[in-house]
Structure 1
Amino acid sequence: MEGNGPRRPEGFPELKNDTFLRAARGDETEYTPVWCMRQAGRYLPEFRETRATQDFFATCRSPKTCCELTLQPLRRFPLDAAIIFSDILVVPQALGMEVVMVPGKGPTFPEPLKEVEDLLKLRPKVDVAAELGYVFEAITLTRHRLEGKVPLIGFSGAPWTLMSYMIEGGGSNTMAKAKAWLYRHPEASHRLLHLLADLIVQYLVGQVVAGAQALQLFESHAGHLGPEQFGEFALPYLRDIVQRVKSRLEEAALPAVPMIVFAKDAHYALEELARSGYDVVGLDWTIQPREARERTGPCVTLQGNLDPCALYAPKERIGELVKTMLEGFGTQRYIANLGHGLYPDVSPEHVGAFVEAVHTHSRHLSRHK
């Protein structure tokens, strides 16, 4: 990997609400902080209006538009964190792969990796500042425009999830092509995963330099692996990334930032994830809060895990579900979220009801514990 990386910006506004960061680090909080995966998204009419005339990845490459989309949900809801608007597939793009957003189908690779020899088409060295500088610019601009209201989260896809997209050529119900590589070409699979991990480390460090105050790694396709394959092809890279990012930030005298791992459907590896070096373990909706707390122990903050479909329920029911979730997790060392991203047809009013219920019930439970 090459390049000097992004320049360190100066003079960010002072942070006014650090509840999310304190919860992530395990410090006591007055209430449970809350944010939503995909909180900047199509469920907001203003999002659809902003994006109406622009290609998806052109939007991702426009720092001003990314900033605007990141801020939109903060204007509506008292969320405790913002997450930069971007996409995990900007990393394969930086490696030289073409990705297009096909209406009704989603992200598509016109030329996915089919044979081991196709790895030679990928850039062996990436100038991260040149290829992904637009993300860094968006983060810096957004940090200023947030005016210290809440912290800003940066993110990346994890190596296995990115590898699966690069081989499948898009979404898949089985990930059979990508998993076939793991069984038929284990050495080449590790080569690709190492290449991705190296780039992700630089990318995440660059996001902190640019102003990100926390980082989330999305292992969205963990559920397609069993425990053995996850232990060989996913978990070692998740551990490697968090260790290297933290050590590089320390070496560069940059602020230590909380790091979150979200490995969807990987409850079979919950204990390993809790010991993997991340400050926060994100959970999908397929695990009971009390069970997750018992299995992960007292040294990690948990994040999640309301079923996104619960937001289709009446507002009163959303409040009841949130209260039950908070009682299961407890109000400390906990960040409320959904168990996956917001769906495009969810009512913004119901998102607001979710956020309000977290704040209201967590304050009540904290006072009466």
Structure 2
Amino acid sequence: MALMRGKAGRYLPEYHKIKGGHDFFACCRSPEIASALTLLPIDRYDGLLDAAIIFSDILVIPQAMGMVVEMVDGKGPHFPRKLETPFATRDDRQYDGIMERDVDVKKELGYVFDAITLTRQKLNGRVPLIGFCGAPWTLLSYMVEGGGTKSFIAAKTWIYKYPEESKRLLQKIAELCVEFLAQQVVAGAQMIQVFDSWAGELSPASFKIFALPYLRHIASALPRRLVELEQARVPMTVFAKGAWYALDELCEAGFDVVSLDWLQDPAEAMKIAEGRVILQGNADPGILYGTKEAISAAVEEMVMGFGGGKMGWIANLGHGKA
């Protein structure tokens, strides 16, 4: 499987030509540009790719909630004003926008749905189209840290100092994720993936409190919402990067596919999964810096670890996308 999501693909000259002078989120908000960037690897490597994933970013949900998010060259996502505390004053417009305001997902993120519909039309059945969102814990981390971080001081201050308020915000984000994913399916997404990029920053005990319940909520509530919208159920994938310790729980969370990072042994993962889900992964992306022989050896080792080509496994890099 080969996909291009978010900022991936910047090494391609066509990417920069299509992007032009637009900043990253402007590209996301343009259905025409987002569709063109989604189709770029499909057209360039005609017949070699298994699926396309819509060009977007996990941080469109915080934007829909009223937060400003910028993509800074050389730095990544930046929130000019992050969430400092759950106890902001009631006349703080940011507080009202995050904790109290009702979010019209169809209105605020309509550009994503338009891009999906346009892309499905252009794909014309060549490969399936995947939609996605960020997981509640990962999104909360970005919102309170104000961007990427290595320490997670602010995020952990929230969950350990304000646990009930954190759970309230996590639940709100989870409900928005459900609606966002459901509307992506309505628009034409044929599979969805939930990225919990910072799952591994939580201890096993904290993961069970501040991440797993909200992943379970998405997995259980999304099919019900699709029934309400008269849509067929689509396959659901979860990628909890770094949460190798939670594989058993993730296999019971309600998803169809569990994507693995490169820190898990394939053979051991197969034993834990016991056929409850399809596993996806999990070659170290770093092997791509190596020789052809090194890449071939790593792929062969991965294939053998997952049962030597048996059904019930999706080959992929262990990075959620490949």
Bin the TM-score by the shorter chain: over 0.9
Which of 93, 96, 107 is residue 120 of structure 1 equivalent to?
Answer: 96
**Secondary structure, counterpart of 1:107 in structure 2:** strand
Corresponding residue number in structure 2 for 1:83 = 53
Contact map agreement 2:38 2:119 (CA 8 A) in 1: yes
User: Identical aligned pairs, as a percentage?
Assistant: 55
The separation in 2 between residues aligned to 1:178 and 1:60, in whole angstroms, is 26
**1:276-287 to 2 correspondence within 5 Å?**
276-287=253-264
Please tell me whether residue 314 in structure 1 is matched to residue 291 in structure 2. yes
Give TM-score scaled by structure 1 length. Answer: 0.81
Q: Deviations over 1:43-71 (max 9, x none)?
A: 32211222241111101000011111111
Give, in angstroms, the shift of residue 196 of structure 1: 0.4
Which of 170, 177, 184 is residue 200 of structure 1 equivalent to?
Answer: 177
**1:203-352 to 2 correspondence within 5 Å?**
203-330=180-307, 331=309, 332-340=311-319
Aligned residues between the structures:
310
The separation in 1 between residues aligned to 2:119 and 2:238, in whole angstroms, is 23
Contact map agreement 2:5 2:57 (CA 8 A) in 1: no
The separation in 2 between residues aligned to 1:259 and 1:180, in whole angstroms, is 31
**1:354-365 to 2 correspondence within 5 Å?**
none
The separation in 1 between residues aligned to 2:262 and 2:204, in whole angstroms, is 19
Contact map agreement 1:37 1:341 (CA 8 A) in 2: no
Give, in angstroms, the shift of residue 36 of structure 1: 4.0
Give, in angstroms, the shift of residue 341 of structure 1: 5.9
Relative contact order, higher structure (CA 8 A, sep 6+)? 1
**Secondary structure, counterpart of 1:116 in structure 2:** coil
The separation in 1 between residues aligned to 2:279 and 2:225, in whole angstroms, is 25
Letter in 2 for 1:128: V
* Gaps in structure 2 of 5+ consecutive residues: 89-94
Which of 73, 92, 96 is residue 66 of structure 2 equivalent to?
Answer: 96
Corresponding residue number in structure 1 for 2:81 = 111
Give, in angstroms, the shift of residue 308 of structure 1: 1.0
Give TM-score scaled by structure 2 length. Answer: 0.93
* Gaps in structure 1 of 5+ consecutive residues: 1-33, 343-350, 352-369
Corresponding residue number in structure 2 for 1:181 = 158
The separation in 2 between residues aligned to 1:54 and 1:282, in whole angstroms, is 32
The separation in 1 between residues aligned to 2:116 and 2:317, in whole angstroms, is 23
Letter in 2 for 1:148: G
Which of 17, 30, 35 is residue 67 of structure 1 equivalent to?
Answer: 35
Please tell me whether residue 56 in structure 1 is matched to residue 56 in structure 2. no
